[in-house]
A and B are shown apart, each in its own frame.
Chain A
Amino acid sequence: MADERKLTILGKFFVFLVLAACFAGAYYLWTRSSGSSNPGVPGQNGTSAANGGTPATPAAPGPGSVSTPEPRTNANTPAVTIGVAYGTEKRRWLTWAVEEFQKTPEGQRITVKLIPMGSLEGAQAVIKGDQAINVWAPASSLYEGTLVDEWQMNNSGQNPIAKKEILALTPMVFVMWDERYTAFIAKYKELSFRTIALALAETGGWTAIGQKQEWGFFKFGHTHPNQSNSGLMTLVLLAYDFHQKNSGLSLGDITNVKFAEWANKLQRGVTGLSNSTGKMMEEMVQRGPSTYDAIFVYEANAIDYIKNAEGRWGKLRVVYPEKNAWNDNPFYILNVSWSTKEQRAASQVFLDFLLTERVQAQALVHGFRPANVAVPIKGADSPFTTMEPYGLKVDLPAVCEPPASEVLKNLLISWQRNRGGS
């Protein structure tokens, strides 16, 4: 055995295999520990918490584990976090968008923290100086005037808004259980604020309306005008509807005695007053016709939940008010002292991502009309095509102009006085 032997070809090959396997294994471990930027590759999501494995990576989806996006850093560019205060009507779409964003190269260093807040709540938080908020994304521009006015009062005329872009649009709709809608129309011929006011005032309830004693009283809900954009929008459209106009809603219109009487009477019959439009839509589907016969919400909410409703109680019906308005879902990059240059730049990057065709197409899936005109509304898969039988329409008869902040303020005051406080 002491003879010198030469390595055969097979032997050399075997050695080569062993060395190659070692290097491959080392490389594999190294790529896993530094995080992979390869979306859609299974098993690349890092170690499982269950094994107490390599730290600083998101937990793998083992049973019972919950993973939340955590800041990932590359050695080169600095990580930045931005807080986006957003209206809950966009929850499903935005949650998906953030997840997708985190998979992009830019999403590696920019962490987006979504902070769900009622539209007005978000404005008030900014005014109070909530340092967690770099972007304000309410349901509509209704409160823009209020934010700017109050901010300027305390900050010597400085404009708190660096940039404004529209993300997606959605009008208001009545959503009603189809069975109840049929009975309602048989008596009142149409579903509108005027007929709703009549139904609410009906002391005989559904017995008088449609000989349906087991349906109890007529129940209509909208959100709290002081906490939610759709609630305030309800008051605005009530006023426009009463005065039969599309623009120039004035203080005189609000203080008009006949209008006040009619609106107050209607309001006294309203049940629910949730602080969130999304939550109210969800409650309607969870609890069924016994809780609400009809509610006033965003078209996007209705689209989002129509299918779910069938798995619980039955068909829903969507009806557009004669006088409508756009909720334009603005994205405001804030110009405030706690927002750094990097954060504003990062906000712009995220905004650009939200306006890409792919993300805008997903907004359509959740029922929003995309701001990006390259995305067609009436494609074959679009909810506006598939859900037409439920009453969905692309064209709106009349769209109203948002009133001045002074008018809004007085609408709220009048509502509050009537309800006896919050």
Chain B
Amino acid sequence: MGLGLNLEQTRQSILGRTPLGVFLGLLLTVLAGLGGCEDPKPKPAAGGAGNNPGNAQAPRAEARPPAETPAGGIELVFPYGSEKKLWLDDVTATFNNARNKTASGKAITVKLMPMGSGEAVEEPLSGRLQAHLVSPASGAFIKLANAKSQASSGGPLVESTQDLVLSPVVIAMWKPMAEALGWPSKQVGWSDIIELTKSEQGWAKYNFPQWGRFKFGHTQPEYSNSGLMAIIAQAYAGAGKTNDLTMQDLQSPAVATLMKEVQAGIVHYGESTGFFGRKMFSSGPEFLSAAVLYESVVIEANEPGKYNLQFPVVAIYPKEGTFWSEHPVGVINKPWVTPEHKEAAKKYIEYLLQRPQQESALKYGFRPSDVSIPLAAPLTPDFGVNPNEPKTTLQTPSAEVINGTIELWRVQKKKSHVVLVMDTSGSMNRDQRIQNARAGAQQLIEMLGEEDLFSFMTFSDKRVWLAEELKIKDGRARLNQQAGGLIANGGTALFDSVYAAFQHLQQRQKPDRISAVVVLTDGEDTDSQMKIAQLLNEIRSDEEKKNIRVFTIGYGTEANMKQLDDIAKATQAKSYKGTPQNIRQVFKEIATFF
């Protein structure tokens, strides 16, 4: 008998026998069900190694969409120093998608919250943010927070930490400028910065008159790690030491003098290292000659195609010594962190320290804390960095000395002259605008230093000067009161008022101060003589004679953000979209520039 005939007979004979047919039908259904269950072990990604449990594979291109926290999931709130944002975004997406579970079966998701290192520890410390783990850029902020926590509640905020990735603090400088100073064959450091700052000739001394004077910047030490490391390094350099900085050292005239001399070259401070870096790279050598940043930021800058750099940027490792930012991570010790949160946090931290994630960090310009990973590209000279540096590192001092250094900086820092220009037109009466604007203004006044100068102008269709060139220490209380008593009424002569404030500063040119206008407005210009184009022309910064910064806040929905952006851009400042909810935060951030 041929096979074909047999098959037909067979089929008919099987299906024809009813009980057997039903039985087989059921079996086939079961088989189909089994076949539908995939082997859940995923195929290894290219280059993935071994079958060791816990060895997470490299993230695949076809990542699933981010998981929402399902009912019965557990969420970890994670504030952290924003320098490592790109790396953490990458590896955490993969972690969240994998739906790792705690012992009780809850799926773990991590909510990333990038911010300045100071804020990252302050928010959980104060209870404003119920965070479960935290990672500032360096252990200095852990020390500070633990000391505060010990004093107020008898216990540390974070008990033990592990280092995630490392990146030394460096002075980032345009390559030809660094070469003019003798880099790389000569060791460059803070003493060179000081010499340059003091010199009236500026870069002309090195045959680069087109770059003007030496201009420098670092972030605000109370909010941002790189700024804090910069001032401690200045203190060490002044004391001629590399470890054991003491309160006594801070009182020596040599330390005060060095710090003051470095600070004199500062263009402005700021809240975020990333912002500083981006400003420097996109604005070019006319805006900043150098800034205190991280090695990882320099690597990022030199990535082909990222910025339209006029010249490559190089990392200078100060010869007097520098700090490592070691990105410690630790679980927070507060009542809202349950044992299950601790368990989940431990799993996530373990994951971050595993080899694939550590190798990924190298890609983003960090030195992995896992030392079994040798340093390779992009930690190479063609990205502007030197893996054999730093040659001298400094020891993090005690919390007491850190606080002492901040106090010293407040005295020695570059002072400011700030003109606050507030819109008090009739529309400010709507939506609690004027009330919240008052609070915002008071926030700014509160944060300025004793020696800063303050001028206060309100405008509607007319201008009123409430204060002119008042030293904060002579009038803080009064200014606070005035800010609290603002009343709204009238039109909006925005451009004329901005120009008036600008001229006010121009006429009182103080090269040793940061000169800035902070203008808040909730609407379009309705009453000015001056037009926007003319205003922009008048205020545009040339970084030599004209470097008055105009920070703009577009408050509410009717403000013309495009014009406000243009004004800020023209003066190398920043514009903000303000709401009654965020206005205090906006003023707070602006205050960090001074």
Q: With A59-B100, A286-B163 given, is the CB distance from A216 to B347 under 8 Å?
A: no
Asked whether A65 lies within 8 Å of B395 as measured between CB atoms, the reply is: no
Name the residue on A nearest B34 (C-beta): A25
Measured CA separation A255–B508 after assembly (Å): 70
CB distance from B150 to the nearest CB of A (A): 14
Q: Mark A38-64, 1 if CB is under 8 A from B, else 0.
A: 000011010111111101001111111
Mask, A8-31, CB within 8 Å of B = 1, is 101100110011011001100100
Chain B positions within 8 Å of A289 at CB level: 391
Residues from chain B with a CB closer than 8 A to the CB of A287 are 166, 324, 393
Q: Which residues of A contact B98 (CB under 8 A)?
A: 49-50, 62-65
CB distance from B271 to the nearest CB of A (A): 28
- Contact residues in A for B347 (Cβ distance below 8 Å): 66, 68
Q: A6-B13, A66-B100, A289-B391 are in contact. List 6 more A-B contacts (CB 8 A).
A: A61-B51, A68-B54, A68-B347, A287-B393, A288-B390, A311-B375
Contacts of B180 in A (CB 8 A): none
In the complex, the answer to whether B187 meets A10 with C-beta atoms within 8 Å is no
- Among B376-427, those with CB < 8 Å from A are 387-393, 395
Chain A residues in 8 Å Cβ range of B30: 22, 25
A214 sits at the interface (CB 8 A): yes
The answer to whether A25 and B31 have CB atoms under 8 Å apart is yes
Q: Which residues of chain B are within 8 angstroms of A70 by Cβ–Cβ distance?
A: 103
Query: Which residues in chain B, 49-108, are within 8 Å of chain A measured between CB atoms?
Result: 51-60, 91, 94-101, 103, 105, 107
Q: Mark A206-219, 1 if CB is under 8 A from B, else 0.
A: 00000000111101
Q: Can you list 24 A-B contacts with CB-CB less than 8 angstroms, sorted by A residue number?
A: A5-B9, A7-B13, A14-B10, A15-B20, A43-B39, A43-B41, A45-B53, A48-B40, A51-B40, A59-B53, A61-B41, A61-B51, A61-B57, A62-B57, A64-B95, A66-B347, A66-B348, A66-B354, A214-B391, A282-B369, A282-B371, A286-B371, A290-B321, A308-B374
Residues of B within 8 A of A58 (CB): 53
Question: A21 contacts which chain B residues (CB < 8 A)?
Answer: 31
Bound-state Cα–Cα, A285 to B163, Å: 13
When C-beta atoms are compared, the residue in chain B nearest to A40 turns out to be: B51
Known: A42-B41, A64-B94. A8 touches B372 (CB 8 A): no
A271's contact among B367, B388, B395, by CB below 8 Å, is which? B395
| Cβ of B27 under 8 Å from chain A | yes
* Contact status B166-A286, CB under 8 Å: yes
Known: A15-B14, A63-B57. A214 touches B9 (CB 8 A): no
Q: Is A390 interfacial (CB-CB < 8 Å)?
A: no
Evaluate contact between A66 and B367: CB separation under 8 angstroms.
Answer: no
User: A7 to B347, alpha carbons, bound, how many Å?
Assistant: 59
Please, which residue of chain B has its CB at the minimum distance from the CB of A48? B40
**A11-B13, A313-B388 known; A29-B34 Cβ under 8 A:** yes
Given A10-B6, A62-B42, A66-B100, A15 and B374 touching (CB < 8 A)?
no
Interface size class, chain B = 35 or more
- Give Cα distance in the complex from A11 to B393, angstroms: 82
What 5 pairs between A and B have smallest CB-CB spacing?
Answer: A311-B374, A64-B98, A64-B94, A48-B40, A11-B10
Across the interface, which residues of A come within 8 angstroms of B351, CB to CB? 64, 66
Task: Tell whether A75 is near chain B: CB-to-CB under 8 Å.
Answer: no
What's the Cα separation between A285 and B324 when bound, in Å?
Answer: 13
CA distance A18 to B393 in the complex (A): 72
Given A11-B13, A48-B42, A290-B392; A216-B53 close (CB under 8 Å): no
Contact B56 A63 (CB under 8 A): yes
A18 adjacent to B16 (CB under 8 Å)? no
Contacts of A313 in B (CB 8 A): 388
Chain A residues within 8 Å of B163, by CB: 286
Within 8 A of B (CB), among A291-316: 291, 305, 308-313
Q: Is the interface of B mostly helix, strand, loop or mixed?
A: loop
8 Å CB contacts to B: which residues of A95-116?
none
Q: Does B12 reach chain A (CB closer than 8 Å)?
A: yes
Interface residues of A in 62-85 (CB under 8 A from B): 62-68, 70
Q: Are B45 and A63 touching (Cβ within 8 A)?
A: yes
On whether A215 and B388 interact (CB within 8 A), knowing A48-B42, A63-B59, A67-B54, the answer reads: no
Q: Does A1 contact B (CB under 8 A)?
A: yes
Nearest residue, chain A, Cβ from B166? A286
Q: Does B7 contact A (CB under 8 A)?
A: yes
Considering residues A14, A29, A216, A305, which has the most beta carbons from chain B within 10 angstroms of its beta carbon?
A216
Give Cα distance in the complex from A62 to B41, angstroms.
Answer: 7
Is the CB of B24 closer than 8 A to any CB of chain A? yes
Interface contact A8-B242, CB-CB below 8 Å: no
Which residues does chain B contribute within 8 Å of A271, judged by CB atoms?
Answer: 243, 395
Distance, CA A6 to CA B57, complexed state (A): 56
Contacts of B57 in A (CB 8 A): 61-63
Q: How far is the CA of A47 from the CA of B53 in the complex (A)?
A: 12
Chain A interface residues (CB < 8 Å from chain B)? 1, 5-8, 10-11, 14-15, 18-19, 21-22, 25-26, 29, 42-43, 45, 47-53, 55, 58-68, 70, 214-217, 219, 271, 282, 285-291, 305, 308-313
Min C-beta distance of B580 to chain A, whole Å = 40
- Say yes or no: A308 contacts B371, CB within 8 Å: yes
Q: Which residues of B contact A (CB under 8 A)?
A: 3, 6-7, 9-10, 12-14, 16, 20, 24, 27-28, 30-31, 34, 38-42, 45, 51-60, 91, 94-101, 103, 105, 107, 163, 166, 187, 242-243, 319, 321, 324, 326, 347-348, 350-351, 354, 367, 369, 371-375, 387-393, 395
8 Å CB contact of A214 from B107, B242, B375, B392: B392
What chain A residues lie within 8 Å of B388 (beta carbons)?
288, 313
| Residues of A with C-beta under 8 A to B391 | 214-216, 289-290
Please give the distance in Å from B247's CB to the nearest CB on chain A. 14
Are B374 and A312 neighbours in the complex by a CB distance under 8 Å? yes
Bound CA span A316–B163, Å: 23
B96 (CB) vs chain A CBs: closest residue = A64
- With A64-B95, A286-B371, A312-B374 given, is the CB distance from A49 to B101 under 8 Å? yes
Whether the pair B107, A217 counts as a contact (CB closer than 8 A) is no
* Residues of A contacting B393 in the complex (Cβ-Cβ under 8 angstroms): 287, 290-291
List residues of chain A with CB within 8 A of the CB of B54. Answer: 61, 65-68
Give Cα distance in the complex from A51 to B107, angstroms.
12
Determine the chain B residues whose CB is within 8 A of the CB of A52 once the complex forms: 99
| Bound: A60/B30 CA distance, A | 25
Contact indicator B100/A47 (Cβ below 8 Å): no
Select from chain A the residue with minimum beta-carbon distance to B7: A10
Which residues of A lie under 8 Å from residue B97 when comparing CB positions? Answer: 50, 63-64
Q: Are B100 and A49 in contact (CB under 8 A)?
A: yes
With a cutoff of 8 Å between Cβ atoms, the chain A residues found around residue B369 in the complex are 282, 286
Chain A residues in 8 Å Cβ range of B101: 49, 59
Chain A residues with CB under 8 Å of B107's CB are 49
Closest A residue, CB atoms, query B349: A66
Asked if B14 and A11 sit within 8 Å, CB to CB, the answer is: yes
A310 to B371, CA, bound (A): 10
Complex contacts, B389 vs chain A, CB 8 Å: 290
| CB closest chain-A residue, reference B26 | A22
Shortest beta-carbon distance from B508 to chain A in Å: 45
Q: Is there an interface contact between A66 and B13, defined as CB atoms closer than 8 Å? A: no
**For A291, what are the chain B residues with a Cβ–Cβ distance below 8 Å?**
393
- With beta carbons under 8 angstroms apart, the residue of B16, B24, B28 that contacts A1 is B16
Q: Give the residues in chain B near A217, CB-CB below 8 Å.
A: 242
Q: Are A19 and B27 in contact (CB under 8 A)?
A: yes
Nearest to A13 among chain B residues (CB) is: B10
A338 to chain B, nearest CB (A): 19
Residues of B within 8 A of A7 (CB): 10, 13-14
- Chain B CB count within 10 A is highest, among A15, A61, A62, A308, for A61
CA distance A309 to B372 in the complex (A): 8
